[in-house]
Amino acid sequence: MALIHVSLVLLAFFVFLAGQVCLGSWVLGKLHLDFASFPEHFLISICSGIILSEVAIFLLQWTQHIRIGSFLVLFLSCVPSGIELPALWRRGKTFAQRSLPLSRVERLVVCLTSTVLLVEFVASLAPLTGSDALHYHFTTEQLILEHGFHPIFFLTHSFLCGQGHLLILLGLGLGSEALAMSFIFLGGALAALAVACLAARWVPRLYAMSFALLFLLTPLVFWQISASGSPDIWMAAFTGAAVLVITGTGEDATFRQALLAGILAGGVAGAKYTGCVIAAALAAAFLLEYRSALKGSLFLLGALFSGIWPFARNLIWTGDPVFPMLTSHLFPERVNSYDLRALLADTGAASSHSLLQAIPFLSFSMRRTGTSFGFWEFCGPIVFALLPLIFLAYRNTREWRVRILVWYSAGLGIYLASGMTRFLLPVLPLALSCVAAGVYYARQKGWQRIHRLATLSVLLACLLGAGGLAIYATPSILATMGVEDRREYLREKSPDYQVSEAINQSVGALPFAGNTLVFLRHLYYLRVPYIVGDPSAAWLVNPDSIKSPADWRAFLRDEHIAYVVRAPSYPQPIAAPLEELEKEGYLIPYTRREVQNFQGMRMDGTRVPVLVDILRVVPDVSEPLR
What is the residue-wise DSSP string for 528-562?
S-EEE--TTT-TT--TTTS-SHHHHHHHHHHTTEE
Q: What's the gap between Cα 587 and its chain centre?
A: 39
Under the banding of pLDDT at 50, 70 and 90, the label for residue 626 is very low
Q: Are 188 and 428 in contact (CB under 8 A)?
A: no
Query: Is 191 in contact with 215 (CB distance < 8 Å)?
Result: yes
Q: Which amino acid is at 37?
A: S
Q: Cα–Cα distance between 500 and 520 in angstroms, integer?
A: 9
355 vs 580: CA distance, rounded Å: 49
Per-chain mean pLDDT for the chain? 91
Q: Look at residue 75 and tell me whether its pLDDT is greater than 60.
A: yes
Question: Residue 591: beta bridge partners?
Answer: 614
User: In whole angstroms, what is the distance from residue 63 CA to residue 542 CA?
Assistant: 31
DSSP state of 459: H
Per mean pLDDT, which of 70-79, 91-100, 235-244, 245-254 is the most reliable? 235-244
The whole-number average pLDDT for the span 415-436 is 92
Q: Residue 36: its pLDDT value, please?
A: 83
How are the residues of the chain apportioned to helix, strand and coil, as percentages rounded to the nearest 5? 65, 5, 30
Q: At how many degrees (to 10) do helices 177-200 and 165-173 cross?
A: 140
Domain boundaries, the chain: 2-476, 495-617
Top pLDDT among 386 and 2 is at: 386
Q: How far apart are CA 278 and CA 415, in angstroms?
A: 12
Q: Dihedral through CA 430, CA 434, CA 440, CA 444, nearest 10?
A: 140
Range name among 312-316, 419-423, 444-448 with the lowest pLDDT average: 419-423
- Confidence (pLDDT) at 350: 60
pLDDT at 367: 62
Cβ-based neighbour number of residue 468 at 10 Å: 17
Look at residue 624 and tell me whether its pLDDT is greater than 60: no
Give the pLDDT mean for 145-154. 95
Q: What is the DSSP letter of 612?
A: E
Residue 260: which residues within 8 A CB-CB, separation 6 or more? 28, 31, 33, 44, 48, 245, 302
Out of 280-284, 326-330, 599-603, which region has the weakest mean confidence (pLDDT)? Answer: 599-603
pLDDT number for residue 65: 94
- Quote the pLDDT of residue 427: 97
Question: Under a CB-based contact definition with an 8 Å cutoff, are residues 597 and 499 in contact?
Answer: yes
Distance, in Å, from the CA atom of 87 to the CA atom of 565, rounded to the nearest integer, reads 58
* pLDDT: which is higher, 68 or 623: 68
DSSP string for residues in 322-361: TTTTTHHHH-GGG--HHHHHHHHHHHTTTS---GGGHHHH
Cα separation, 193 vs 400, whole angstroms:
19
How much is the average pLDDT of 577-584?
Answer: 94
CATH class of 495-617: alpha beta
Residue 434 has pLDDT above 90, yes or no: yes
- Angle 165-168-174 (CA atoms, 0-180°, nearest 5)? 145
Q: Is 562 left (phi over 0), alpha (psi -120 to 50) or beta?
A: alpha
Please compute the mean of the pLDDT values over residues 427-454 and round it to a whole number. 96
Give the model's pLDDT for residue 199.
97
Per-residue model confidence (pLDDT) at position 599: 81
284 three-class SS: helix
State phi, psi for 96 to the nearest 5 degrees.
Answer: -65, -40
pLDDT higher than 90, residue 354: no
Report the range of poorest mean pLDDT among 154-168, 189-203, 598-612. 598-612
Residue 486 contacts residue 525 (beta carbons within 8 Å)? no
Residue 470 predicted with pLDDT over 70: yes
**Span 149-178, mean pLDDT?**
96
- Percent of the chain scoring above 70 in pLDDT: 94
Enumerate the β-bridge partners of residue 565. 614
Q: Which pLDDT band, with edges at 50, 70 and 90, does 248 fall under?
A: confident
- Looking at residue 91, its pLDDT comes to 93
Q: Which of 65-69, 184-188, 262-266, 416-420 has the lowest mean pLDDT?
A: 416-420
Judge whether residue 378 has pLDDT over 90.
no
pLDDT(345) > 90 = no
pLDDT at 561 over 50: yes
Who's near 34: CB < 8 A, 6+ residues apart? 28, 41
Pairing of strands 515-518, 530-532: parallel
Residue 186 Cα distances to 196, 236, 419, angstroms: 15, 12, 27
Neighbouring CB atoms inside 10 A of 545's CB total: 11
Q: In one letter, which amino acid is 63? A: T
pLDDT at 366 exceeding the cut of 80: no
The residues facing 615 across adjacent strands are: 564, 589
Higher pLDDT, 39 or 82: 39
pLDDT at residue 615 above 90?
Answer: yes
- pLDDT of 234: 97
pTM: 0.94
589 SS3 class: strand
The residue-averaged pLDDT of 100-105 equals 92
Instruction: State phi, psi for 381 to the nearest 5 degrees.
Output: -90, 5
Task: Estimate to the nearest angstrom the gap between the alpha carbon of 286 and the chain centroid.
Answer: 26
Confidence of residue 249 (pLDDT cuts 50, 70, 90): low
